[in-house]
Chains A and B, each alone.
Chain A
Amino acid sequence: MSAALATRVGALELANPVMAASGTFGYGLDLIEFCPPERLGGIVSKGLSPRPRIGNPTPRIVETAAGMINAIGLQNIGVEAFCRDALPQLRGRGATVAVNVFGERMEEYVAVIDRCEREAGVAAYELNVSCPNVTAGGIEFGHDAAQLERLTAMCRARTARQLWVKLSPNAPDLVGTARAAVAGGADALSLINTFRAMAIDADLRRPVLATTCGGLSGPAIKPLALRMVWEVHRALPDVPLVGIGGIESGRDAAEFLLAGASAVQVGTAIFRDPRAPLRILDELAAFCAERGVADVKELIGGLRCR
């Protein structure tokens, strides 16, 4: 027996719970021969700003134990090029697309959304208020509940599409920022972004990354991410969540669903295996089938706590 895989994040129906995370899958078309975007629950674009950004100097990435630290600095082609070059192809393929939105000022988030509102084929916006690798914007909204509520409300006023806020694990009060995003009108929350981290070259006595610090991702952060999804789900049980953090297998995906996520995003695993999201989806389907789970939605929030 094969399990029903469709899920729902707020009002958004997804064909299955496995998405590709922002910044790990380009604009959805870079790995089509390995992972056609339309076969996934959805894809989240690289963070888009109103104008192209060149990003940070190098070195930008460093591998650590079961993880990696990146400080890309939101290099992106800009929303205009995305709407012109990538979105029509994604639309033609029938992919479910969430646009990850970034700005240095609140007005820039609004500008990205306004531009995308002129296009069909965008299912959701994911506000990036949690990138640890840029000095202006983003994170300052993600760490301050009052600012986050205001930003979310400004974006909410511009669109009837699904509005997600991607939370920072570095915020001093995770549940507080989650509540603020919901108060501002977010339909769902995705969590978590990378953990602020650093690597040091002891021989040179220097930080490895040009920016000194970056964001840690990969299997190393999975237990932290699970705990955060579970905490936010417990505090806000009616708010749909999208779980992110070190997912490498179908079993990992099932763990996030059990903790309270309605869908998951696969990120760093794609760098190891360009087919990772599809493989994880197959593994999740097998996980369900082997345990007599008829519908993957049965797993959502199904954790039995002692």
Chain B
Amino acid sequence: MIARRDLAVRLTARAPLSPTCFRLTLAAAEPLDAIPGQFGMLACGPGFDPLLRRAFSLAGVSRSGGGTEVELLVKEVGKGTRLLRTAPLGDELRLLAPLGNGFDLTPGPAPLALVAGGIGLPPVLFAATVLAARGERFDLYLGASTGAELIETERCGALAAAAGGELVTTSDDGSRGESGFVTAALERRLAAGRAYSRVLACGPNAMLAALSRLAVSRGIAAELSLEEPMGCGVGVCLGCVVELAEGTYVPACKEGPVFAAARLAERWWL
């Protein structure tokens, strides 16, 4: 297991990606290693409101000098993320990372299907970066509610191309890419005979549920990165539990956030 640290990080860059999403670059003086799918708990500001840190999947981690550059993709949804959108560059924040288990990226039969919905992209982008660097084949499916909310399409396209695969973009409103849900785009290709050894995915729960059904019906193993409201990120508050097929609740922050679809309670993906 990679050692967790509570890092002082400096906000060094922020770039808008869509009407609601932006990219944050954080610089830490210390080295940090992480696996795609792992996350960090970021204190979004000083004071007691918001009280809790926010959980963000890491979109990229790279060594920079003796330190680390951490990339996060953020969607503004409330108080904490609003603070992150307006915080001055140079601000020092605290990031507890890396947390959780991450995707299983053990080299295996290709190709993989990487599937992201909306702001579920960060762990999928990180996985694509690692897989592309290793020269493993994958197709990347990226969907959003509207065309304007499709983010990082150029990077995703370059990574998929480098991996000898395809970037498939979809929007629910049909304004960009294929029209409809990203899971439908995947289903069309499976029906046309395209085969995948595994699916790695992150996105809204409804998308992951649809993806679970699709993967299970086709006998493809799926690993899903789940989002749950997290209090602590380290397994002590037991707020972010996920129900497993065996009937127990386990904290997504510690046993996840990546789960094999087959491990989850049927209720979860019905």
Q: What residues make up the interface of A, taking CB atoms closer than 8 Å to B?
A: 23-26, 30-31, 33-34, 54-55, 57-68, 70, 72, 75, 218-220, 248, 268, 270-275
Main secondary structure of the interface of A (DSSP, over half): loop
Main secondary structure of the interface of B (DSSP, over half): loop
Given A58-B241, A274-B96, CB of A30 within 8 Å of CB of B48: no
- Say yes or no: A72 contacts B239, CB within 8 Å: yes
8 residue pairs A–B, Cβ–Cβ below 8 Å: A55-B249, A58-B243, A61-B229, A68-B51, A75-B249, A218-B48, A271-B231, A274-B6
Interface pairs A-B: 8 shortest CB-CB: A61-B239, A66-B48, A271-B232, A26-B236, A219-B48, A271-B231, A72-B238, A60-B239
Residue B89 lies at the interface, judged by CB distance under 8 Å to chain A: no
* Given contact pairs A55-B238, A268-B51, A272-B51, a sample of 6 additional A-B residue pairs in the complex whose CB atoms are under 8 Å apart: A23-B238, A60-B239, A66-B49, A75-B241, A220-B48, A274-B6
Residue B237 lies at the interface, judged by CB distance under 8 Å to chain A: yes
Q: How many angstroms from the CA of A65 to the CA of B78 in the assembled complex?
A: 13
Q: What residues make up the interface of B, taking CB atoms closer than 8 Å to A?
A: 3-4, 6, 43, 48-53, 94, 96, 228-229, 231-232, 234-241, 243, 247-249
Instruction: Report A-chain residues with C-beta under 8 Å of the C-beta of B52.
Output: 63, 68, 271-272
Instruction: Report B-chain residues with C-beta under 8 Å of the C-beta of A273.
Output: 6, 94
Instruction: Report B-chain residues with C-beta under 8 Å of the C-beta of A67.
Output: 51
A34 to B, closest residue via Cβ: B6
- Say yes or no: A70 contacts B231, CB within 8 Å: yes
Given A33-B3, A34-B6, A63-B51, CB of A70 within 8 Å of CB of B239: yes
Q: How many angstroms from the CA of A63 to the CA of B43 in the assembled complex?
A: 14
Contact pick for B249, options A54, A70, A272, CB 8 Å: A54
Q: How many angstroms from the CA of A55 to the CA of B250 in the assembled complex?
A: 10
- Say yes or no: A75 contacts B51, CB within 8 Å: no
Q: How many angstroms from the CA of A99 to the CA of B46 in the assembled complex?
A: 34
Q: How many angstroms from the CA of A275 to the CA of B236 in the assembled complex?
A: 13
The number of A-B residue pairs with CB atoms under 8 Å apart is 88
Q: How many angstroms from the CA of A268 to the CA of B3 in the assembled complex?
A: 23
Closest CB of chain B to A262's CB: distance in Å?
25
Q: How many angstroms from the CA of A58 to the CA of B48 in the assembled complex?
A: 24
- Say yes or no: B238 contacts A75, CB within 8 Å: yes
Q: How many angstroms from the CA of A248 to the CA of B234 in the assembled complex?
A: 19
- Say yes or no: A24 contacts B241, CB within 8 Å: no
Instruction: Report A-chain residues with C-beta under 8 Å of the C-beta of B3.
Output: 33
- Say yes or no: A272 contacts B229, CB within 8 Å: no
Instruction: Report A-chain residues with C-beta under 8 Å of the C-beta of B235.
Output: 26, 30
Given A72-B239, A271-B236, CB of A62 within 8 Å of CB of B51: no
Q: How many angstroms from the CA of A63 to the CA of B79 in the assembled complex?
A: 11
Instruction: Report B-chain residues with C-beta under 8 Å of the C-beta of A218.
Output: 48, 51
